Structure 1
Amino acid sequence: MTALSPDTDPRISEEQEHLDRVYGRLDRMRQTTQRRLSSTLSERGGTPQALSERESYERMYNEDLAKFDAAEHNLYFGRLDLDDGEIRRIGRIGVLDDGLGDDGTHDHTATDATLLLDWRAPLARPFYLATPAAPEEVARRRHIRTRSRKVRGVSDESLTAGDALLDDFGHGDVVNESALVAALNAARTGEMTDIVETIQREQDLIIRSTHRGVTVIQGGPGTGKTAVALHRAAYLLYTHREILSRSGILIIGPNDDFLSYIGQVLPSLGESGVLLSTIGDLFPGVRARSEDRRVTTGVKGGLRMVDVLKRAVRAKQSLPSRPEPVDFDGYRVEIDSELVKAARAKARSTRRAHNQSQNAFLKAGLAELARRHASTIGSSLLDGSQLLSPADIADIRDDMSQDPDIRAALLKFWPTLTPQDMLRELLTDERAIRRATPGWSDDDRAALLREPRTFSITGEDFSPADVPLLDELAELIGYGTDDAERAERARWRRQLAEAQDALDILTGSAPQDLEDELDPEILMAYDLIDAEQLASRQTETRRATTAERAYGDRTWTFGHVIVDEAQELSP
């Protein structure tokens, strides 16, 4: 390995010339992207499809600009000289030559199609794997240290037999030794930085291992677990871009401080489509920050809790202890155990989640209640036969379905549930815990019990151990995407009604607004647009990133999950 001073090292001027070309190309890429973004933002109107396409382009251009900005620091850091004379230059992102000089005119000396190889590309891998014992057809590996677009130092490693430098133990397998020493001596900033220049052979094997869906990284302090996890995420996004750009990558860390510490690593590698989260933040709407006792965490993490939660949900599908009277249309009808039991059996037979089978329960209960009411008011005084037709009974059922008192009386025995409320009620009710835990010891039951005042509506008083329970309850209850879709449909209906009201007002005031109200040539807004079009134009659309959509969707399936510091996540 050789290293000369900047004043006497001819390699620095050689690499500076190449670095200038790379940054010149990066600047032109940035300018072109900014110009395209500005043009996209200036466009107005068009069909909904055109609007969607503009939003897609806007997001793409913004992501490209962020990638270019992130690559500004230490853009070019490595070079490989192969045995056959080929030269490969390695950087944070791939940069292709456009054949132009710094002044924008054609540069006839520009012959290389690739100015920089992305460090994740297969052709760049020998930079991290080559050793004197296994040179990977590499004659020389060069490390380039830059700062503020200036080459500050160059060091070479010869991998040719007989020329290789051995380490202190007589081995020739220390990869990127000079860059590694420089990184170890660099000043600390309080945030983790990437190790793209100093990845070691063993780390690279993990980073580029086969995509299997889940990667669990464990190890002792200081063994590079986190750095490997983050660089693996960047590698997977590069290698499986088409799939993972749609499904995303989830990185799970032990706490907020840890995520803050590592938060800038992936952006510095040009990647933003990754969700970093603690276990406590994985359930939408909940930030679980309470800490359980170790014994409580152990009990909550047991498989027995699945059956406990099932029993707790079924307990909400209750029967009345005595008939409950409800006034309807001047009569009194009764909801008794027999009616509710039959409706409950009908709902359970659907084998759907609790909330999703509520409609079946309500429909069966209303049908029986209407039949009973019809037999009371429509029976013949002579022989007791039913005088009302099936259509009449159907009308009674429809009227009952619109009666808030009857609906409330029925739904008391099959209520709409939320995971948060269910878990709060269970964990703060000693009797509910006892009913849901047959055969449990008193100590295990006591481990679950919490004081009601320890919970708040913010969700922060849940613990990380509660999050899997909330998720299981959401499955049992049927809570999540369907609720969000219903809320979105309700929002759209409100917006549509408001748009129609606005058009009605314009229509009503038209004669006062026109000097010649009979002139058929004068067009008004309501002649050109309907309520749906007006509502669509008033809708604020925001195309969220993959990570943002995944964060708000409990049912999201990630393309890859990385669990870092796994030993800290469970007792």
Structure 2
Amino acid sequence: MSTEELREEQQFVSGLYARLDALREEAESTVQASLAQVGNGLQARLERDVMVAEQSGVLAALDAGENGLCFGRLEFRDGRDHRIGRIGIRASDTERTPLVIDWRAEVARPFYLATGHTPMGLRRRRHITTEGREVTALHDEILDLTDTTRTGHEAADADEVLLAALDSARTGRMHDIVQTIQAEQDRIIRAPHRGVLVVEGGPGTGKTVVALHRAAFLLYAHRELLAKRAVLVVGPNPAFLGYIGEVLPALGETGVLLATLGELFPGVTATGTDSAAAAEVKGRAGMADVLALALRDRQQLPEPGAPLIIEHDDGDLILDWEIAYEARAAAREADLPYNLARPTFAFHVIDALTHQLAERIGHDPYGGPNFLGPDDIAQLGKGVAVSAEVHAALEELWPTLTPERFVTEYLAEPAHLSAEDAAAIRRAPGAAWTPADVPLLDEAAELLGKDDSAARARAEAERQRSVAYAQGVLDVSYASRTYEFEDKDDEDAEVLLAHDIIDAERMAERQEEADHRSAAERAAADRTWAFGHIIVDEAQELSAMAWRLLMRRGGGRGARPARAPPPPPPPPTRR
């Protein structure tokens, strides 16, 4: 066996690690220098945070390359020579010459696909085995049978490297297979990004690890898209996620969210356990329609002949069945989620009560027109709209609901199910959430919608305050301008000041705080986040409701909230 070949590879690998250390030291120095900056302005903090975030990502990738930095070499018939590794590294020369090529690059594909029948231009393929930073073995495969040159490291068996990896000692963690990817695995890993890809196989055949390498490849090939939208990996339990948790970081990828189904509703951690019967009922596709019906039930009407009596300074207001029915019909006709339709219901009720009050106050006993003008009626309407008693009546008929409140109250009194199914899922309020509850919460959130009008109004008011403040600063800048450099014979100023180059709107925008969380961190906190790619392990175990949730996380159009049935017959004619 040639020791010269081994020595040559060791020399190259040692130089490669020296370059890795230099890059790591450079990134660490940049982080430390950024953290040491003393600027307290928003712009200085923004620049510092961006630099730290970028260099921290670089450090994570460099750390991932520590083990198995270079594991392959491709020698082409035309004289080209490429080293293959888990991350790409370039030299410090002006041409930034590639020293080792990332395994996901297209030029690295022959390392996994080339055969004696289809050599893909290769003369020789070399597998480099290392322990730490030491080269311990070389295995060469001759792909050009006309080449009689031998190194002494030719493998007796083409699968020798793969068998050695399979026979290696287990550590209790899932290993990456980047050095031993087979042709069939490579086709799965590099399959097109769009659409659904199902990987089938028996237990222990490597389905999960291939899927994780596919995630790493997609993050490499579609970096601009997936780095912004992140990748979601859904596992069956926390223990499994811990088991696979080191694979993607080892491949240089940290922009991935690993979660169980019970962790996919922000603010809720599912620690409870359902019976098999309860989980089965909750997971049925029909639960989407059941929840839609249950939510429709929450839109109440006063009993005919038993109106709600609302106290008012100018006499009681009567909220009867007819007023509520017409308001509810208008709200349902808007075809909006429950909480977003509620303002329509409230507007119609308030409008009806206002006219009721105006008719009472401005009534002409001699049959003439109402004494109140439009401005008077508008003022009465404002008083009705802010009445605590009116709001209490609205809350009774069309309560404001959160997904947590709605699902909790529904499970306490299940409806629209058989007696057996209702008994299976019934539970008292306060019980711990279960994984099967999370798809119900997600469905409820879609049905309810989120009325963020108040938050948007607050944000706009805050923006206007910031713009006004910025304008004040610019006004002070203008009033304090110097005339030292002013040329009386030249109308153009020689010195540009703040008010010359920026307006109040842009100045206010530049002072806004930026969100420096990673895409995965932001996705974990946002129920409406649409991931760029989703990997599901043990997909056959997911319920139909769980799939509805995941389709939304992928931005799928097939997971819209269920439709409730048509409205009931119209009300009887008023008397």
Q: What TM-score does the superposition give when structure 1 sets the normalisation length? A: 0.80
Tell me, yes or no, if structure 1 residue 73 matches structure 2 residue 57.
Answer: no
C-alpha distance 563-333 of structure 1, shift in aligned 2 (>3 A): same
* Amino acid of the structure 1 residue aligned with 2:237: N
Q: Deviations over 1:140-191 (max 9, x none)?
A: 2111122232222222222233899xxxxxxx9986x333233223332222
* Amino acid of the structure 2 residue aligned with 1:26: L
SS in 1 for 2:397: coil
- Give the structure 1 partner of residue 51 of structure 2: 57
Q: What is the rounded CA distance, in whole Å, between the counterparts of 1:425 and 1:389 in structure 2?
A: 46
C-alpha distance 298-372 of structure 1, shift in aligned 2 (>3 A): same
Identity of aligned residues (%): 45
Q: What is the rounded CA distance, in whole Å, between the counterparts of 2:460 and 2:41 in structure 1?
A: 19
- Give the structure 2 partner of residue 106 of structure 1: none
- Give the structure 1 partner of residue 298 of structure 2: 316
Aligned residue among 229, 234, 257 for 2:211: 229
Equivalences for residues 338-357 of structure 1 within 5 A: 338-357=322-341
Tell me, yes or no, if structure 1 residue 298 matches structure 2 residue 280.
Answer: yes
Q: What is the rounded CA distance, in whole Å, between the counterparts of 1:208 and 1:316 in structure 2?
A: 49
Residue 382 (structure 1) shift = 2.6
Q: Say whether the 8 Å CA contact 2:123–2:147 is kept in structure 1.
A: no
Q: What is the rounded CA distance, in whole Å, between the counterparts of 1:470 and 1:173 in structure 2?
A: 58
Aligned residue among 373, 376, 385 for 1:389: 373
Tell me, yes or no, if structure 1 residue 551 matches structure 2 residue 524.
Answer: yes
Q: What is the rounded CA distance, in whole Å, between the counterparts of 1:384 and 1:299 in structure 2?
A: 63
Residue 343 (structure 1) shift = 1.5
Residue 254 (structure 1) shift = 0.9
C-alpha distance 233-536 of structure 1, shift in aligned 2 (>3 A): same
Tell me, yes or no, if structure 1 residue 124 matches structure 2 residue 100.
Answer: no
Q: Say whether the 8 Å CA contact 1:215–1:561 is kept in structure 2.
A: no
In angstroms, what is the RMSD of aligned CA positions?
Answer: 3.4
Q: Say whether the 8 Å CA contact 2:284–2:543 is kept in structure 1.
A: no
Equivalences for residues 364-443 of structure 1 within 5 A: 364-383=348-367, 385-430=369-414, 433=415, 436-437=416-417, 441-443=418-420
Q: Say whether the 8 Å CA contact 2:46–2:514 is kept in structure 1.
A: no
Q: What is the rounded CA distance, in whole Å, between the counterparts of 2:245 and 2:115 in structure 1?
A: 32
- Give the structure 2 partner of residue 23 of structure 1: 17
Q: Deviations over 1:377-424 (max 9, x none)?
A: 221233263111111111111122222221121222111111122122
SS in 2 for 1:307: helix
- Give the structure 2 partner of residue 362 of structure 1: 346
Equivalences for residues 142-291 of structure 1 within 5 A: 142-161=126-145, 177-291=159-273
Q: What is the rounded CA distance, in whole Å, between the counterparts of 1:117 and 1:369 in structure 2?
A: 74
Q: Say whether the 8 Å CA contact 1:335–1:410 is kept in structure 2.
A: no
Residue 305 (structure 1) shift = 1.8
Q: Say whether the 8 Å CA contact 1:213–1:559 is kept in structure 2.
A: no
Q: What is the rounded CA distance, in whole Å, between the counterparts of 1:564 and 1:173 in structure 2?
A: 37
Q: Deviations over 1:333-375 (max 9, x none)?
A: 2222122112212211221111111111111111111110111
Q: What is the rounded CA distance, in whole Å, between the counterparts of 2:521 and 2:398 in structure 1?
A: 34
- Give the structure 2 partner of residue 115 of structure 1: 99
Q: What is the rounded CA distance, in whole Å, between the counterparts of 1:173 and 1:299 in structure 2?
A: 57
Q: Say whether the 8 Å CA contact 1:213–1:561 is kept in structure 2.
A: no
Residue 59 (structure 1) shift = 1.3
Q: What is the rounded CA distance, in whole Å, between the counterparts of 1:287 and 1:465 in structure 2?
A: 12
- Give the structure 1 partner of residue 88 of structure 2: 94
Structure 2: 5+ residue stretches without partners: 149-154, 469-504, 545-575
Q: Say whether the 8 Å CA contact 2:123–2:142 is kept in structure 1.
A: yes
Residue 259 (structure 1) shift = 0.5
Q: What is the rounded CA distance, in whole Å, between the counterparts of 1:139 and 1:240 in structure 2?
A: 31
* Amino acid of the structure 1 residue aligned with 2:329: A
Q: What is the rounded CA distance, in whole Å, between the counterparts of 2:166 and 2:376 in structure 1?
A: 85
Q: What is the rounded CA distance, in whole Å, between the counterparts of 2:376 and 2:172 in structure 1?
A: 75
Number of equivalent positions: 502
Q: Say whether the 8 Å CA contact 2:236–2:537 is kept in structure 1.
A: yes
Aligned residue among 445, 451, 470 for 1:474: 445
Q: What is the rounded CA distance, in whole Å, between the counterparts of 2:116 and 2:358 in structure 1?
A: 93
Q: What is the rounded CA distance, in whole Å, between the counterparts of 1:303 and 1:569 in structure 2?
A: 12
Residue 232 (structure 1) shift = 0.3
SS in 2 for 1:216: coil
SS in 1 for 2:300: coil
* Amino acid of the structure 1 residue aligned with 2:15: R
C-alpha distance 174-12 of structure 1, shift in aligned 2 (>3 A): closer
Q: Say whether the 8 Å CA contact 1:320–1:337 is kept in structure 2.
A: yes
Q: What is the rounded CA distance, in whole Å, between the counterparts of 2:464 and 2:392 in structure 1?
A: 29
Residue 121 (structure 1) shift = 0.5
Residue 126 (structure 1) shift = 1.0
Q: What is the rounded CA distance, in whole Å, between the counterparts of 1:354 and 1:173 in structure 2?
A: 69
C-alpha distance 50-346 of structure 1, shift in aligned 2 (>3 A): farther
* Amino acid of the structure 1 residue aligned with 2:6: I
C-alpha distance 78-194 of structure 1, shift in aligned 2 (>3 A): same
